[in-house]
Amino acid sequence: MSTDTVAYVEESEFDTLLSEEKVVVVDFTATWCGPCRLISPLMDKLAEEYKDRVKVVKVDVDNNKPIFKKFGLRNIPAVLFFKDGELAETIVGVSPYEQFTEAIEKLF
């Protein structure tokens, strides 16, 4: 298993992804962001645990600034939870794994 199991998406793929998947978790991250590296393994774990029900992706904010600004984000890591294309919850900063799973469970 690779260390980075969660795929990166570009802005051009983002809206399609939200329309095709019921529940999407988006990790806004950057290579230079230390705290982002702390939650990266948590995103991989989420992707594995919920692989049949949730699509987990990452967005590199350096390459996709418009999408970052679209959601009014100022800090990373920021993890956004979408259900049926609508933003349901946002968690900013380093959080325990349980906080991410609780946010997902609320969407079902």
What does the alpha-carbon distance between residue 37 and residue 50 come to, in Å, rounded to a whole number? 21
Query: Which among 24, 26, 36, 78 is annotated as catalytic?
Result: 36
Cis peptide leading into residue 77 (ω within 30°)? yes
SS (H, E, C) 41-84: HHHHHHHHHCCCCCEEEEEECCCCHHHHHHCCCCCCCEEEEEEC
Strands 86-92 and 78-83: antiparallel
Query: Which among 17, 30, 33, 73 is annotated as catalytic?
Result: 33
Residue 36 falls in the annotated catalytic set: yes
Q: So which residues are the catalytic ones?
A: 33, 36
